[in-house]
A = this chain, B = another copy of it.
Amino acid sequence: MNAFHSQLAAASAAAESLVCVGLDPEVERFPAHLRARPNAILAFNRAIIDATADLVCAYKPQIAHYAAVGAEDQLQDTLRYIRERAPGVPIILDAKRGDIGSTAEKYAREAFERYGADAVTINPYLGRDSAEPFLQYADKGIVILCRTSNAGSGEFQNLQVGDRKLYQIVAERVAGEWNSRGNCLLVVGATYPGELADIRARTGEMTFLVPGVGAQGGDVDEAVRNGRAKQGAGLVINSSRGILYAGSGEDFAAAARRATLDLRAAITQALRRP
């Protein structure tokens, strides 16, 4: 098990949780008392982290939400705060990068050296050589898009290539080749439970990052039943908006905690089913 997977397993065991909280701050959705504050994003994230630190196996800040408003400093401070408040909980930087090798090196440096993330999401369209600068970070988690949670993801991902679909080829290629250092994970949306089962069958014990529960409507029970691995659960189940915006008043953090508890409980229940 590589360092990222060990860290993830330890955090998951400590919190008895497969829940990953996505930190996708949108100031316009913040409670009114926070909106006008300087560094509102950091204040919001700190409240969410305080409310959920004992309940999660990972945090996943989505970088576009910071980049859109020039809030790189608040992203950096959010990561620092996670290290302080939730030591041992791994941080997955959701960036979905993908570029030719010389540029991919810079993106890897952004994720792992500038921000010090433990894992990063990447896009496979450019092929393995574009992933290699990430894959060389043997201690990190490299989370490759396979079957994404959005409604239109089948346009290319479901194209039929001989006897397999494109997403199946991506899954097999990653499991069989890209994962030679044991540091790969796959993104598979909870909104496609059939594909979750299919990709599980093709990839053995790989860990899946599963977005799409909560605001996107994926069913937790089905996702767990179809996506779980034979040994460990092999799942990191992300909710962003469903947790962050569970409440809209001054008690938003308490509402976020309740939503996280509910999701954790739903997953636990699903895991107990035979």
Chain A interface (Cβ < 8 Å from any Cβ of B): 24, 62, 64-65, 67-70, 72, 96-104, 106-107, 109-110, 113-114, 123-130, 145, 148-157, 159-162, 166, 169-170, 173, 211, 216, 241
Contacts and interface: CB of A to CB of B under 8 A. Distances in A.
Nearest to A103: B64
Nearest to A165: B161
B99 A127 contact: no
Given A97-B96, A98-B123, A123-B125, A106 B68 contact: yes
Given A70-B114, A106-B68, A107-B68, A100 B130 contact: no
A147 to B, nearest CB: 10
A113 B64 CA distance: 13
Contacts of A154: 127
B125 A152 contact: no
A159 B166 contact: yes
A230 B210 CA distance: 46
B156 A114 contact: no
A65 B145 contact: no
Given A70-B114, A161-B160, A129 B106 contact: no
| 7 A-B pairs with the lowest CB-CB distances in the bound complex, closest first | A129-B152, A127-B155, A127-B152, A64-B106, A68-B106, A100-B150, A68-B109
A162 B163 CA distance: 11
A120 to B, nearest CB: 12
B110 A126 contact: no
Contact of A106 (B65, B107, B114, B211): B65
Contacts of A64: 97, 99, 103-104, 106-107, 110
A193 to B, nearest CB: 17
A263 B115 CA distance: 38
A170 B149 contact: no
A128 B152 CA distance: 6
Given A67-B106, A110-B68, A127 B101 contact: no
Contacts of A101: 150
A157 B125 contact: yes
Nearest to A66: B106
A70 B70 CA distance: 11
A130 B103 contact: no
B151 A129 contact: yes
Among A24, A96, A113, A173, residue most surrounded by chain B Cβ atoms (within 10 Å): A96
A129 to B, nearest CB: 3
Contacts of A113: 68
Contact of A145 (B104, B125, B162): B125
